[in-house]
Amino acid sequence: MGDEMTTPTSAQPGNEAAEALGVDDTHLQEAAKRHLWMHFTRMSSYADHDVPIMVRGEGPWVYDSRGKRYLDGLSGLFVVQAGHGRRELADAAARQAATLGYFPLWSYAHPNAIELSERLASLAPGDINRVFFTTGGGEAVESAWKLARQYFRATGQPGRYKVISRNIAYHGTTMGALSITGLPDIKAPFEPLVPGSVRVQNTNFYRAPEHGDDPEAFGRWAADDIEARIEMEGPSSVAAVFLEPVQNSGGCFPPPPGYFQRVREICDRHGVLLVSDEVICAFGRLGSWFGAQRYDYLPDMITCAKGMTSGYSPLGALLVSDRLMEPFLSGSASFSHGFTFGGHPVSTAVALANLDLMEKEDLVGNADRRAADFRAVLEGLRDLPIVGDVRGDGLFYGIEMVKDKATKETFDDDESERLLRGYLSGALFQAGLVCRADDRGDPVIQLAPPLVCEQEHFELIGEILRSVLTDAWKRL
């Protein structure tokens, strides 16, 4: 099983097209190989391949340093909701940088952070009215765990410090967020991690160990595993449960019907906080502002980032209920936590402009309306022998690849290595599609196109996948 992103490589030779774009590709290639350390990347892949260098974007398209066009089927990294090249967002950033380039949120405020907190509170469900800004998703998750701990100390339950999350779920890479993450391979090099983080079953219905023919019974079973874990750990030691509305890692596991309602009941019964990690699922990805609204549950906290600015500037946030803020509103209390760049003036300006744009163009509604078309295109691939499952919601899907559809037999580590790294990642990229071939669970292809996409883009995704997956099957 792999522990890093599969690595698309660029194989086209020559610097001519690049020069026409005003880019010195030869120099960039050399400098990238010599100096740049790419994230979750097997750097050795680039010893005999070129680094894919993206220089420009427009709508759902991105262009590399040789001028080749790709459909961005992953919105960068589940980020670019509004599509690339949006002038409004660039202008908002420039205006703010010229007005007040930086000031912290440590004891001070600035108008954008205030307005954005008000706006997020109005979009968020229920009494989630307080916003603590970070610079990204992992920091938001880290902040949620720390807030849960300090909240319980402040309210006379100092023994509550543990957190529960699901197998194979990704929640970030800082030591706290990594401890909450359920991917053993990316944790192992950094052990020992933060104590007090334990795993439960996820909602992979395709591989349901029980109730594989009854989603509701499966949902009850998966939710009840959380209760069993709380009881095993001792309820008075458990602070919070971290769940994504649709779990990304493993290839898009939507919640079975009734799952979140039952989890909410369980959390309430045991006094445990429910954190909805919406770093991917918020801001229209599922056809709603927040995933909690899509599935009709009320968490105590929401972590979000990525789509809030459509990626035009980095920003994350922890959104919390009034109840959690209560102990910090009087006397000498304060949340002992912060980041220099959390709620940066430029990023919050971009977020406000992005929310304006999303509202004006009804991008959340677009994702909701087009979700069925996107699903239909991907479901259309089910006739391919390698396609075992197609699952997801909104504009967020995973396609699980199998060796045998009838038995659902998956690929062993060697086959997966050959299939994903040896062929699929490169072939999909060469065919002009940015997506993600991932084997952190069973091998999947993940898709999350920008919310501006239309039927023609979905069809192109379908065509490229059909051709490359057909070829992959022949090679097996």
Ligand X SMILES: Cc1ncc(COP(=O)(O)O)c(C=O)c1O
Interface ranges with ligand X (CB under 6 A)? 136-138, 141, 170-172, 244, 248, 277, 279-280, 305, 316
Nearer to ligand X, 141 or 208 (CB): 141
Residue 141 CB, shortest distance to ligand X, in Å, is 5
- Please give the distance of CA 331 from its chain centroid, rounded to a whole number: 38
Nearer to ligand X, 248 or 313 (CB): 248
Around Cβ 139, how many Cβ atoms within 10 Å? 26
Helix axes 345-360, 111-123, angle to 10 degrees: 40
Residue 269 CB, shortest distance to ligand X, in Å, is 26
Contact 308, 354 (CB under 8 A): yes
Q: Dihedral sign, CA of 114, 286, 395, 367?
A: negative
Nearer to ligand X, 306 or 403 (CB): 306
Contact 164, 242 (CB under 8 A): yes
Residue 136 CB, shortest distance to ligand X, in Å, is 3
In 3D, which of 306, 302, 313 has the Cα closest to residue 274?
Answer: 302
CA distances 371 to 143, 286, 329, 367, 455, Å, are 32, 8, 42, 6, 10
How many angstroms separate the CA atoms of 154 and 114, rounded? 26
Nearer to ligand X, 50 or 439 (CB): 439
Residue 172 CB, shortest distance to ligand X, in Å, is 4
Give the residue closest to ligand X by C-beta. Answer: 137
Contact 37, 455 (CB under 8 A): no
Q: Which two tokens stand for residue 26?
A: 């030869």
Residue 158 CB, shortest distance to ligand X, in Å, is 27
Residue 286 CB, shortest distance to ligand X, in Å, is 13
Nearer to ligand X, 421 or 440 (CB): 440
Residue 272 CB, shortest distance to ligand X, in Å, is 19
How many angstroms separate the CA atoms of 407 and 419, rounded? 19
How many angstroms separate the CA atoms of 251 and 31, rounded? 34
Nearer to ligand X, 10 or 347 (CB): 347
In 3D, which of 149, 155, 113, 110 has the Cα closest to residue 131?
Answer: 113
How many angstroms separate the CA atoms of 102 and 349, rounded? 12
Nearer to ligand X, 66 or 166 (CB): 166
Q: 207-212 — which CB contacts under 8 Å span 24+ positions? A: 207/408, 207/442
Nearer to ligand X, 342 or 402 (CB): 342
Residue 181 CB, shortest distance to ligand X, in Å, is 8
